[in-house]
């Protein structure tokens, strides 16, 4: 996990060094900049695999790479496709570069993991991003130079406009862009399972494998444990693999998450850590939260605040943390989805929600953890997990009146978890942590109705953005202090669960 920055068709290393200055939080373990005849690559490193040998940018046979992410099957790919080559390191970075030189751009289809990387090879530039967009990548054009970086802020002084590099896509300077991943080629109307019980067995097996992959590390690994269903499942499966595991929870005094997390940690026997924060602390850290988040979406900011405290807490003890991100999008966990009463409508909504994750919850997770040099991993969003969930008959995910959402997922692990966890209703992270309404109260005190009305009209006319409430204006006003509106609004995601 790292930060990357680079440029194509320039040899200006000073420009890349300035960009990296805004990404040092993503990689506290090292930094490097190397120029070739056609471009410059820069990298800030968070060392997770091959701590001594994985320094970047990395060179092989005249090609150069900078890479952000983790490839969970890199050793399998190395043994299968590179067995005749002598590698210098045990890093996934070197495997990526050699696979590119050996197999060409199509090698991206073989990768299991989360990634955004750039390769300079002679006159050519190659860029790629993981299927769901767990790892960020942004582009900008200045004169005849193509710039790219892990965060918008790194490009803010370099360009007037920034665009998101699409998930599931690779780009080659000679061959153009190619979408290599598509999870929605049409879904089986009758599902691939004859019974719900078969589906539940498959869910358990796929998630067990997904967690196993994400325990790959040469550093300590922990779990974000809110006491909700999703994080409890991840913690359960991680504990089955590791003798000792550390779990982390945050919330305001008396929050439901803290109590539920304590119960789950005791049930699993983990070393459990928690942090209790106040409204004053929330207000104090909000500018930092929004600076790192690069969004003013209200639902995203609300959940980013507890995530910020969680990342800070976890960074004291681990460098890798597993979370339950993505389960609600796969198994219809949000309350607003109850209004979708037909299988077709629900399935369509789940697909949209998953497509937007790279601009909503995944953006929050990446930015908050990376603000403290922690790598967040998301087992539910393993491509096999996504494929399984979207192949299931959507009617199995519809919530009956009075029934908790995600019953299919709850029932899959009902025999392995305490009943209080299995039956606990879905809550947004910000609600469970006790912070959901606190910042909205601050916003009401800060902006009068006339100011809100003026800004709402202006934002609609300028950006076709409907400002939902004063809370959103509070966050936007805070973000505009560090990033210009022209870079924020075109790329800002809008959470569907607001």
Residues marked active site are found at 2
Q: What distance in Å separates the CA atoms of residue 127 and residue 115, rounded to the nearest whole number?
A: 10
Alpha helix (H) ranges present in 333-423? 343-355, 361-370, 383-391, 407-412, 419-422
CA nearest 385: which of 199, 245, 250? 199
Q: What distance in Å separates the CA atoms of residue 346 and residue 17, rounded to the nearest whole number?
A: 46
Q: Is the peptide bond before 57 cis (omega within 30 degrees of 0)?
A: yes
Q: Give per-residue burial for 336-364: e unless 16+ CB within 10 Å, then b.
A: ebeebeebeebbebbeebbbbbbbbbbbb
Q: What distance in Å separates the CA atoms of residue 118 and residue 19, rounded to the nearest whole number?
A: 15
Give residue for tokens 């990395």. Answer: 58
Q: What's the burial of 91, exposed, middle or buried (CB within 10 Å: 0-12/13-18/19+)?
A: buried
Three-state SS for 54?
A: coil
Using an 8 Å Cβ cutoff, are 321 and 314 in contact? yes
User: For the chain, first and last CA: distance in Å?
Assistant: 30
Strands 39-45 and 2-8 turn out to be antiparallel
C-alpha 260 chain-centroid distance = 24
């Amino acid at each position: 996990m790292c930060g990357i920055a680079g440029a194509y068709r320039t040899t200006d290393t000073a420009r890349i060094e300035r960009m990296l200055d805004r990404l040092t939080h993503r990689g506290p373990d090292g930094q490097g900049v190397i120029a070739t005849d056609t471009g410059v690559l820069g990298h800030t490193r968070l060392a997770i695999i091959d701590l001594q040998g994985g320094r970047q940018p990395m060179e092989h046979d005249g090609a150069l790479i900078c890479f952000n992410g983790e490839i969970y099957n890199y050793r399998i790919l190395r043994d299968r496709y590179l067995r005749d080559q002598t590698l210098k390191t045990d890093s996934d970075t070197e495997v990526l570069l050699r696979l590119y030189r050996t197999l060409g751009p199509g090698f991206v289809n073989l990768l299991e993991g989360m990634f955004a990387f750039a390769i300079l090879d002679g006159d050519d530039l190659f860029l790629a991003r993981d299927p769901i967009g767990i790892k960020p990548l942004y582009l900008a054009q200045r004169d005849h130079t193509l710039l790219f970086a892990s965060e918008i802020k790194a490009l803010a002084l370099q360009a007037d406009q920034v665009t998101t590099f699409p998930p599931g896509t690779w780009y080659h300077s000679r061959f153009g862009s190619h979408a290599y991943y598509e999870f929605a080629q049409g879904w089986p109307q009758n599902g691939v399972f004859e019974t719900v019980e078969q589906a539940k067995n498959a869910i358990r097996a796929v998630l067990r494998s997904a967690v196993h992959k994400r325990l790959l590390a040469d550093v300590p690994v922990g779990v974000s444990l809110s006491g909700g269903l999703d994080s409890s499942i991840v913690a359960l499966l991680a504990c089955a693999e590791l003798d000792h595991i550390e779990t982390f929870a945050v919330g305001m005094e008396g929050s439901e998450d803290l109590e539920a997390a304590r119960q789950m940690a005791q049930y699993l026997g983990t070393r459990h850590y928690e942090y209790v924060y106040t409204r004053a602390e929330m207000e104090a850290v909000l500018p930092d939260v929004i600076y790192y988040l690069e969004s003013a979406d209200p639902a995203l900011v609300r959940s980013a605040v507890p995530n910020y405290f969680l990342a800070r807490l976890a960074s004291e003890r681990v460098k890798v943390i597993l979370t339950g991100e993505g389960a609600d999008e796969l198994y219809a966990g949000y309350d607003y989805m109850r209004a979708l009463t037909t299988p077709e409508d629900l399935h369509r909504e789940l697909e949209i929600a998953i497509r937007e994750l790279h601009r909503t919850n995944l953006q929050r997770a990446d930015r908050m953890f990376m603000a403290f040099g922690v790598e967040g991993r998301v087992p539910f969003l393993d491509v096999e997990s996504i494929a399984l969930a979207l192949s299931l008959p959507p009617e199995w995910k519809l919530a009956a009146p009075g029934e908790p959402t995600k019953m299919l997922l709850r029932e899959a692990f009902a025999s392995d978890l305490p009943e209080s966890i299995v039956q606990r209703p879905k809550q947004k992270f910000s609600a469970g942590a006790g912070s959901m309404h606190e910042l909205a109260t601050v916003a009401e005190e800060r902006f009068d109705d006339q100011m809100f009305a003026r800004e709402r009209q202006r934002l609609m006319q300028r950006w076709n953005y409907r400002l939902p409430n004063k809370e959103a204006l509070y966050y936007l006003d805070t973000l505009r202090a560090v990033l210009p509106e022209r870079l924020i609004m075109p790329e800002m995601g809008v959470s569907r669960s607001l």
